[in-house]
């Protein structure tokens, strides 16, 4: 194990990697329950999506750990699953089988981009100031996810500003049941909650405990806090231990339903029907483009944001991106592992599988090698049987971990010259738009676009790397296309 994962070389040990693997898993385990809820709205069997989520996450994370030897976990991406359901299926009229075919094609495109070094060249083209902004911005983003999951904020929307419900135009006189999504425009106001709710108070307890343990430099602080907060939640009725019952009947039903989604991307209702109507082929191409753009830059942002700061990816890894071929560096192998995970997920029946920013929780817990990923992958596999046990860990217990990880990652902002407005403007938009738009890729888009604008205004257009310029143009085209759709 020492020789395979190079533990001493990475200044870590087995126990640290195991703790990091558990920490990462519990920070992202919510996807096991949220992903089926979102995708089942399209008509996909919920239990099949549950299994597909586990299988795609386990395979993608194992490849990341065993092939790339880096501590990142993969799972169907939040945001991408909503795009799959509410835009691709509901708004654009694709069947869920066709949507899976689109995801598979997106995965193939990502593989081609990776093996031809296009993806690596994009990373190399990003200026140092923007790389620091992306890292700090991910800190803001992941802390915001934690604050939201802890239910520290309430959002109030003006009814006159609601645009759609469940992907359909909102009517003030309409009656709505089983509401899964509400889109509002400008009339939503965030506010701090009243701390009179047991779940919110449990999250406050968890946050204070996590901070105390980290300040005291207790080993495994984040994981210990998650466990302790979960236990404290039992007597208050927040954690329902009675629901942690393993049912093999339910497991049998899940595998039976998996037969419905497995390979559906290639059937007569999927890939074979995707190009039947020539008039929709441009729409197919634009949808694949939208999937790929978000997937690519989400991963790039995560690797830049967490890898450089923690030392997982060295300066040599970054510098060699354009000079090496094949899979000679960890970055090469990690990008390839991420690329193949999307196609694997589509085969089993789930939306785009991507590298999770919550991996930073395990990295902050000390994870430095692929052993962390292997542990996380094994926990995903175990959750096939122990899902009810995993499900009792409340968001109030994991949200504090995300908040403190966000705090740690914001240290990258010190590398930015904030007094230089030319450098500060693109850095600001790259960092802040991640949380504002709830998307790493959109934050990167804002940074790229304003970087090009500032350089052009200053007469320094030649300083813009061609790849960065093309990426900015593609983002703009994507926004135009999505506004038309």
Q: Taking a C-beta distance cutoff of 8 angstroms, is the pair 56, 75 a contact?
A: yes
Report the pLDDT value the prediction gives residue 41, as an integer from 0 to 100: 85
pLDDT one-digit tens code per residue, 180-239: 778 887 778 889 999 989 999 999 999 999 999 989 988 788 889 999 999 999 998 898
| Radius of gyration for the alpha carbons in the chain, expressed in angstroms and rounded | 22
The closest alpha carbon to 469, from 125, 137, 123, belongs to: 125
- Percent of the chain topping pLDDT 70: 95
State the Cα–Cα distance between residues 442 and 475, nearest whole angstrom.
8
| Three-class DSSP labels, the chain | CHHHHCCCCCCCCHHHHHHHHHHHHHHHCCHHHHHHHHHHHHCCCHHHHHHHHHHHHHHHHHHHHHHHCCCCCEEECCCHHHHHHHHHHHHCCCCHHHHHHHHHHHHHHHHHHHHCCHHHHHHHHCCHHHHHHHHHHHHHHHHHHHHHHCCCEEEEECHHHEEEECCEECCCCCCCCCCCCEEECCCEEEEECCCCCHHHHHHHHHHHHHHHHHHCCCCCHHHHHHHHHHHHHCCCCCCCHHHCCCCHHHHHHHHHHHHHHCCHHHCCCCHHHHCCCHHHHHHHHHHHHHHHHHHHHHHHHHHHHHHHHHCCCCHHHHHCCCCCCCCCCHHHHHHHHHHHHHHHHHHHCCCCEEECCCHHHHHHCCCCCHHHHHHHHHHHHHHHHHHHHHCCCCHHHHHHHHHHHHHHHHHHHHHCCCCCHHHHHHHHHHHHHHHHCCCHHHHHHHHHHHHHHHHHHCCCHHHCCHHHHHHHHHHHHHHHHHHHC
Instruction: Please give the model's pTM, rounded to 2 decimal places.
Output: 0.77
- Domains of the chain: which residue ranges? 2-151+193-484
pLDDT value at position 250? 67
Judge residue 199's burial from the number of C-beta atoms within 10 Å of its C-beta, 0-12 exposed, 13-18 middle, 19 or more buried.
middle
- Digit-by-digit pLDDT tens for the chain (485 residues) are 888 999 999 999 999 999 999 999 998 988 998 888 889 889 999 889 999 999 999 999 999 999 999 999 999 987 788 889 877 898 788 999 999 999 999 999 999 988 887 877 887 788 989 988 988 888 898 888 889 889 999 888 877 788 888 777 887 777 777 777 788 877 788 899 999 899 999 999 999 999 999 899 887 888 899 999 999 999 988 988 877 676 666 677 788 889 999 999 999 999 999 988 888 888 898 888 878 888 888 888 888 777 766 778 766 666 666 566 667 778 889 989 998 999 999 999 999 999 998 898 899 889 999 999 999 999 999 999 887 777 788 889 988 988 988 888 888 898 899 999 999 999 999 999 988 888 878 888 999 999 999 999 999 999 999 989 998 998 898 888 777 76
What is the per-residue pLDDT for 87? 78
pLDDT of the residue at 328: 73
> What CA dihedral angle connects 253, 256, 262 and 267, to 10 degrees?
-130
């Amino acid at each position: 194990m020492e020789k395979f994962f190079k533990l001493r070389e990475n200044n870590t040990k087995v126990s640290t990697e195991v703790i990091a693997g558990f920490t990462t898993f519990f920070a992202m385990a919510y996807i096991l329950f949220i992903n089926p809820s979102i995708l089942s709205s399209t008509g996909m069997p919920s239990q099949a999506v549950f299994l597909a989520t586990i299988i795609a996450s386990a395979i993608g994370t194992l490849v990341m750990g065993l092939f790339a030897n880096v501590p990142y976990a993969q799972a169907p991406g939040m945001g991408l699953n909503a795009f799959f359901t509410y835009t691709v299926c509901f708004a654009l009229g694709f069947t869920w089988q066709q949507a899976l075919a689109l995801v598979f094609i997106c995965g193939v495109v990502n593989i081609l981009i990776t093996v031809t070094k296009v993806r690596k060249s994009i990373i190399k083209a990003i200026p140092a100031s923007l790389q620091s902004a992306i890292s700090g911005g991910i800190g803001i983003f992941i802390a915001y996810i934690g604050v939201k999951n802890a239910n520290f904020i309430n959002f109030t929307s003006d009814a006159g500003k609601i645009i759609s419900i469940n992907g359909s135009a909102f009517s003030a006189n309409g009656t709505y049941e089983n509401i899964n999504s509400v889109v509002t425009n400008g009339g939503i106001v965030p506010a701090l909650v009243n701390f009179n709710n047991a779940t919110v108070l449990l999250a406050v307890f968890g946050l204070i405990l996590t901070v105390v343990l980290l300040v005291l430099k207790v080993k495994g602080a984040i994981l210990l806090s998650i466990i302790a907060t979960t236990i404290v939640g039992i007597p208050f009725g927040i954690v329902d231990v009675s629901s942690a019952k393993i049912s093999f009947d339910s497991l049998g039903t899940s595998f039976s339903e998996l037969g419905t989604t497995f390979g559906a991307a290639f059937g007569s209702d999927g890939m074979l029907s995707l190009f039947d109507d020539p008039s929709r082929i441009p729409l197919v191409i634009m949808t694949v483009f939208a999937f790929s753009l978000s997937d690519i830059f989400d991963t790039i942002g995560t690797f830049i944001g967490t890898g450089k700061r923690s030392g997982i990816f060295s300066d040599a890894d970054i510098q060699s991106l354009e000079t090496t071929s094949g899979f000679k560096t960890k970055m090469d192998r990690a990008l390839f592992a991420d690329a193949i995970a999307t196609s694997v997920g589509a085969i089993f029946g789930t939306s785009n599988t991507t590298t999770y920013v919550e991996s930073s929780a395990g990295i902050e817990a000390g994870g430095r090698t692929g052993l962390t990923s292997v542990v996380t992958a094994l926990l995903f596999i175990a959750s096939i049987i122990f899902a009810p046990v995993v499900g009792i860990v409340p968001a109030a217990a994991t949200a504090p971990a995300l908040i403190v990880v966000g705090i740690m990652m914001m240290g990258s902002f010190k590398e930015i010259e904030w007094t230089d407005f030319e450098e500060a403007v693109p850095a600001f938009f790259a960092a802040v738009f991640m949380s504002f738009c709830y998307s790493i890729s959109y934050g990167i888009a804002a940074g790229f676009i304003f970087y090009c604008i500032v350089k052009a205004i200053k007469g320094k257009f030649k300083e813009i790397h061609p790849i960065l310029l093309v990426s900015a143009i593609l983002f703009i085209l994507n926004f135009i296309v999505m506004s038309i759709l």
